[in-house]
Amino acid sequence: MAVAINASGHSVGSSGNDAVEWSKDGTATVLADLPGTESAAAVAINKEGASVGYCLVGGTAVATHWSAAGVVKNLQTILGAGWTDTGAAGINNAGDICGSGMHNGVESAFELLWVPKAGSTDNGSYVNAASQSILAASAIHAPVTESSSHGFASVGHGPG
């Protein structure tokens, strides 16, 4: 089941228990799993081909990022202590990610900002927007017209 498509015609979703990306010609590629994954789904893809979603590990959703090169990343480790049952719901063309989960027992939204290394668009790191000052976070990327939150209008989460 495909759930998102980018301008290049690549789509993402799931097949069986696997997160999958389909190329424009329909070729399917199973995306890598986090260790211990029971099932996974990709729910958004950007113009660069990076996608996000979740892996179900030990019965709990874990927000997941797949780079265009196929490298899988556990986003919950970036969010830090207190976050559980997370899912990434969107990734914009700058690479910023939004999602939601439980933070200290309260349903909460998150935003992770992509900070590229100088001179590189595919090498850098994510920072938790909540741990950055508003001024510093807004200076990372030029304003995006879709919303004041780096181009994200809404968040959802997890397998359900």
Q: Is the pLDDT of residue 120 over 80?
A: no
Which residues neighbour 42 within 8 Å (Cβ) at sequence distance 6 or greater? 3, 4, 12, 13, 14, 19, 20, 21, 31, 51, 52, 53, 66
Note the residue count of the chain: 160
pTM for the complete prediction? 0.79
Which residues neighbour 89 within 8 Å (Cβ) at sequence distance 6 or greater? 43, 44, 52, 98, 99, 100, 154, 155, 156, 157
Q: In whole angstroms, what is the distance from residue 1 CA to residue 41 CA?
A: 9
In DSSP terms, 102 is beta-bridged to 84, 107
In this prediction, residues 150-160 reach a mean pLDDT of 42
Q: Is the pLDDT of residue 54 over 70?
A: yes
Q: Is the pLDDT of residue 72 over 60?
A: yes
- 76 alpha carbon, distance to own chain's centre: 10
Q: Whole-number mean pLDDT of the chain? A: 82
In this prediction, residues 8-16 reach a mean pLDDT of 97
Contact 43, 53 (CB under 8 A): yes
